[in-house]
Structure 1
Amino acid sequence: MKVAIKILNKKKIKAMEMDEKVRREIKILRLFMHPHIIRLYEVMDTASDIYVVMEYVKSGELFDYIVEKGRLMEDEARHFFQQIISGVEYCHRHMVVHRDLKPENILLDAKMNVKIADFGLSNVMRDGHFLKTSCGSPNYAAPEVISGKMYAGPEVDVWSCGVILYALLCGSLPFDDENIPNLFKKIKGGIYNLPSHLSPGARDLIPRMLLVDPMKRITILEVRQHPWFTVRLPRYLAVMQADHFFHLQLDADIVGEVCRLGFTREELLGSLKERHQNKATVAYYLLQDNKRRMQSAGYLTGQMEPQELCTPYTSGIMNRATNSRTPSMLHAFPAHRVVAERRWQVGIRCRAHPQHIMHEVYRTLQALNVTWKKSQPYNLKLRTEVRIRRARVASRGEGSDAMAEDMEGDSMKDADGADGNGFGGGEGAGEGTLTTHEVKLELQLYRTREGEYVVDLQLVRGEFFLFIDVCSAVLRELRI
């Protein structure tokens, strides 16, 4: 079996200031197992070089394919686009935003299936935390990126996917100009032309992906549900919604082969479940990929039948999937686990006017004796000190005074009006050592797609459990 080995000289990497880029790409690819994301098998680190053993991709870049073919037929363009969206969605569900999606970073294997590569500019998303770095190629970059504005992450990948879809269907870029200021002007203004040969579905989808306002821009989930996208959607992409997808396809024959190499079954299955990278899992993935390449029936055999339904997240699709020619792969887990969708909800949500919300936030912080520094109109850096008296060792569940806490100052009161602080649940100070702990936080107010506003708190420095206590006190005091 062929593999690609990337040899990275440590001195050259350091001289080119690419240490962080290389480290980030290796870290991200170690986490990922998806049929349309380049596979990393192993990393070998020596004194002078780093050897990265990766999946071998034969057919080159999607960029070269578009240059050679020109604009693609709609079915072929949709085939590539469905796989790209599937890979990008997988990244986002694992809280990673690519930030440099373009045809040059999308590879094609021997069967003309997509492999997303080059995660060097990627970043890991954190709830309530915004990104600001200008990354990626300007022709594919979203308006908020080239403007230096804050962005959450997924919406910039949606924009780049919209540019890629345009390139697939039109053979050219929607935003192109040799003069960079003119190019930026077109991107910020959303100025481009839709050719007349595009179908009604494509003419509806592309503008929704290339909306200048990121809050109004279509999401990956909405792209997946768009009628143009769902035409002839392969079944394996229609049901690929849970991390368990790959565990459903454990191949007993390959497990047996790996065990014959000297690994125990328990070691292999445990490592696969926890996604550990070791000799056993590397052997399994190499044998698995080799078997797929040897099969003549196509990529992901038995799961490439076209999906005719227009809404990929319905029970009807699950029923069709479980009646396919390879039902054993899908019956290993309950259906709801296969199509389960993670729903993220962070912060304190409300529908009040943002000025009223911030006024109430200031009142709450003052009442809790928390100091703040305003870095942006709706972003605050917070600091507070929590005094903790550590008494005898016991659990709170026993009703003891294991940890009585008191915040610097006496402005905070318990619910009954007695002197207290609102942090922790001690019965009194008692005997013990009084220590002061600093907690630093960041508060951000942002607007959701539904028109609500969210107050989000993020720990910057300090003990996590003290952070939870501070958040609880804020939640009790805040009246929005």
Structure 2
Amino acid sequence: MDGSGRAEMFLRNYKLGKTLGIGASGKVKIAEHTLTGHKVAIKILNRSKIKNMESEEKVVREIKILKLLMHPHIIRLYEVIETPSDIYVVTEYVKNGELFDYIVEKGRLHEDEARSIFQQIISGVEYCHRNMVVHRDLKPENVLLDAKHNVKIVDFGLSNIIRDGHFLKTSCGSPNYVAPEVISGNLYAGPEVDVWSCGVIVYACLCGTLPFDDENIPNLFNKIKGEIYTLPSHLSPGARDFIRRLLVADPMKRITIPEIRMHPWFQAHLPRYIAVPPPDSMQQLNKTDEDILTKVIKMGFDRDGLVESLRNRVQNEGTVAYYLLLDNKFRKSNSYFGAEFQKHVEGYNCINENETAASAVAQRPAGYVNYQGANMRSQVERKWALGLQSRAHPREIITEVLKALHELKVCWKKIGHYNMKCRWDPSQHERTTINNGMRSLYFGDESTIIDADNTCSQPNVVKFEVQLYKTREEKYLLDLQRVNGPQFLFMELCVAFLAQLRVF
């Protein structure tokens, strides 16, 4: 049986149409879903080709992440059909192609159009971060436009999951769009590198060129790390200020997504449904559209079974039909899968911000840490906060931290500008305390630092990481994360550390 025959045998619920594109690992075809009549795109990936290209991990990662995400500006994954020879990935059909081609066609976009596209990109990227996903390869080629020029973010093959207390180090992405800390080989939390890439995208939309471009890669990287770019004279003052705040080489000083939302240039003509942070996936799973549910039940599906499958994210014929009908219903309004998510939003400056902030906290999934800080700058200050917050300059904070570690006889190893691995041996602390004034062997001399990765055999040794990151404008958060060792000893160390910093 030839390839077409194989595909039709396994894709009984679809009528295959023309080929939209052919790549090294397979092809993409347009198809019609027979139960609903809606168009989809089907990526046909050949297992042998994927294996030969060593891209199995990328494919698995993209599928896993797309199954987590449900957002109007992120490509929708409807189902995955696996066979011994091929993988069929059924996604939303996006008609108008890449943002890159659209920019090339128009030369550069009018400021209002560029802003509208950027607002949608930020809405999708923020949703990813809220659901602990960082894209890591944002660029105009990975932003598609539908028939109404609405954004669909695609290609999550280089994405990764954000985990509490863990930082990424993989250098990936396209050279022209990659953040300085990534090309420098530094550790990064994740969201900040997506913000940099968004800055390059908005520059490309407004200017029709890339801010950083050079045929020589070392020269290109020097321009990126040195923030060497020019702003054309046709840009408005607001756009110029916005770009300058996005393309900041130091990730600690770079604007965050909550700050992007507050910027006057971004707020202009802001659609109602983007004016508040999107609901997370868990909230969406608990919502069902009764009209769509009724239509799918009429197709012959059991109501209880369908509702259970939707809540547990089970992929079957009923759930595929449900989401195809749902997406078609709300495609015109661009809402977050239901009018209930936008009916209270009459304008960004008229929102009940306290209620919105409280709702956002309640909707967060278990294990969620907001690396980007508060969702809205004007939300009510919380009584409790994670870690230590300071308004001092990052260098001053790190200096004080190192002094405190030195006094406590903590061994440390720098693994980033604002990140270090630490090791505390209480017995070492006791021995050095006897010799009053003795300088720690490990402080300030990286050549003599004991690598914390190789010192976990002693039962009473505590290993932990210290990380400083930005939470909001002029404010930084210091986080201590235990890696291993006795929990109570770690707590004892934290108390002593706070005392050294004169927190209490």
The verdict on a shared fold, with TM-score over 0.5 as the criterion, is yes
* Equivalent in the alignment of 1:268: 306
Taking the TM superposition and a 5 Å limit, the aligned residue runs for 1:318-333 are: none
| Aligned counterparts of 2:136 and 2:357: Cα–Cα separation in 1 | 33
Aligned residue for 1:3, secondary structure, equals strand
1:400 corresponds to? none
Q: Of 251, 264, 282, which residue of structure 1 is paired with 2:289?
A: 251
Matched residues in 1 for 2:424 and 2:85: separation?
44
Name the residue aligned to 1:374. Answer: 413
Deviation at 1:168, TM superposition (A): 0.8
**Are the structure 2 counterparts of residues 77 and 354 from structure 1 closer, same or farther at C-alpha, using a change threshold of 3 Å?**
closer
Residues of 2 paired with 1:131 and 1:457: CA distance? 15
Residue of structure 1 equivalent to 2:89: 52
In structure 1, give the amino acid aligned to 2:114.
Answer: A
Question: 1:283: which partner in 2?
Answer: 321
**CA offset digits 1:222-271 (Å, max 9, x no partner):** 11121111122111111343227746873212111223344443333344
CA drift at 1:374: 3.4
Which residue type is aligned with residue 26 of structure 1?
A: I
| C-alpha spacing 1:341/1:441, structure 2 compared with 1 (3 Å) | same
2:491 to 439, 460, 472: 472
Distance (whole Å) between structure 1 residues aligned to residue 195 and residue 45 of structure 2: 31
Residue 398 of structure 2 aligns with which residue? 354
Q: 1:261-315: per-residue Cα shift (whole Å, max 9, x none)?
A: 444433333443444444432221022224446xxx554497999x884548x31
User: For the Cα contact (< 8 Å) 2:78–2:92, is it kept in 1?
Assistant: yes
User: What amino acid does structure 2 have at the position aligned with 1:257?
Assistant: K
Distance 2:461 2:162 in 1: 22
> Counterpart in 2 of 1:457?
481
Q: Is residue 230–residue 308 contact of structure 1 (8 Å, CA) maintained in 2?
A: no
TM-score, normalised to structure 1, is: 0.74
| Residues 307-326 of structure 1 deviation map (CA, whole Å, 9 limit, x = unaligned) | 884548x31899xxxxxxxx
* 1:141 aligned partner: 178
Does the CA contact (< 8 Å) of 1:38 and 1:115 recur in 2? yes
Partner residue, 1:119: 156
Tell me, in whole angstroms, the C-alpha distance in 2 between the residues paired with 1:19 and 1:2: 27
Is the Cα contact below 8 Å between 2:275 and 2:347 reproduced in 1?
Answer: no
Distance change (3 Å), C-alpha of 1:476 and 1:245:
closer
CA shift for structure 1 position 357: 3.0
Alignment of 1:73-92 (within 5 A): 73-92=110-129
Residues 125, 440 of structure 1: alpha-carbon distance in 2 compared, 3 angstrom cutoff:
farther
Match of 1:443 in 2: 465
Residue 220 of structure 2 corresponds to 183
| 2:279 paired residue among 235, 239, 242 | 242
Q: Aligned-residue CA RMSD in angstroms? A: 3.6
Q: 1:194 aligns with which of 222, 231, 235?
A: 231
User: Deviation string for 1:47-86 (max 9, x for gaps)?
Assistant: 2222111111111111111111111111111111110000
The 8 Å contact of residues 272 and 348 in structure 2, kept in 1 or not, is answered as no
Unpaired runs of 5+ in structure 2? Answer: 1-37, 371-384, 431-457
Does the aligned pair in 2 maintain the 1:57–1:110 contact within 8 Å? yes
Alignment correspondent of 1:109:
146
Look up the match of 1:42.
79
Which residue number corresponds to residue 359 of structure 2?
Answer: 337
* Structure-2 separation of matches of 1:84 and 1:32: 14
One-letter code aligned to 2:481: L
The residue type equivalent to 2:118 in the other structure is F
Contact kept? 1:44, 1:52, Cα under 8 Å: yes
1:97 counterpart = 2:137: no
> Any conservation in 2 of the 1:73–1:169 contact (CA below 8 Å)?
yes
Return the alpha-carbon distance in structure 2 between the equivalents of residues 379 and 8 of structure 1: 42
Q: Which residue of 2 aligns with 1:173?
A: 210
How far apart, in 2, do the equivalents of 1:13 and 1:446 lie? 39
In structure 2, the CA distance between the partners of 1:170 and 1:335, relative to structure 1 (3 Å rule), is closer
SS at match of 1:269: helix
Q: 1:383 to 1:257 in 2, by over 3 A?
A: farther
Deviation at 1:178, TM superposition (A): 1.6
The aligned amino acid for 1:195 is P
**SS of equivalent to 2:212:** coil
1:234 touches 1:304 (CA, 8 Å); kept in 2?
no
Contact 1:35 1:115 in 2 (8 A): yes
In structure 2, relative to structure 1, the CA distance for the partners of 1:442 and 1:51 (3 Å cut) is farther
- Contact kept in structure 2, 1:194 and 1:203, CA below 8 Å: yes
CA contact 1:231–1:309 (8 Å) conserved in 2? no
Residue 208 (structure 1) shift:
0.5
The SS at the match of 1:30 is: helix
- Aligned partner of 1:212 among 242, 245, 249: 249
Deviations 1:426-478 (A, max 9, x none): xxxxxxxxxx9899844224254545562422436xxxxx7654543433444
1:13: which partner in 2?
A: 50
Q: Note if contact 2:276-2:348 (Cα within 8 Å) is conserved in structure 1.
A: no
Instruction: Give the secondary structure class of the aligned counterpart of 1:81.
Output: helix
AA aligned opposite 1:154: P
Partner amino acid, structure 1, of 2:480: D
Shift of 1:128: 2.5
Distance in 2 between residues matched to 1:44 and 1:472, nearest whole Å: 49
Per-residue CA deviations over 1:156-207 (Å, capped at 9, x if unaligned) read: 1111111111111111111112222221121111111111111121111111
In structure 2, the CA distance between the partners of 1:374 and 1:213, relative to structure 1 (3 Å rule), is closer
Contact 2:283 2:363 in 1 (8 A): no
1:164 aligned residue (201, 207, 211): 201
Asked if 2 retains the 8 angstrom alpha-carbon contact of 1:241 and 1:339, the reply is: no
Aligned residue pair count: 405
Partner letter of residue 79 of structure 2?
E
Are the structure 2 counterparts of residues 246 and 183 from structure 1 closer, same or farther at C-alpha, using a change threshold of 3 Å? same
- Show structure 1 runs of 5+ residues with no match: 319-333, 367-371, 385-406, 412-435, 461-465
Q: CA deviation at 1:379?
A: 2.1
Contact 1:263 1:280 in 2 (8 A): yes
Q: What fraction of aligned residue pairs are identical, expressed as a percent? A: 57
Equivalent position SS for 2:66? helix
User: Structure 1: which amino acid aligns with 2:289?
Assistant: D
More deviation, 347-356/123-132: 347-356
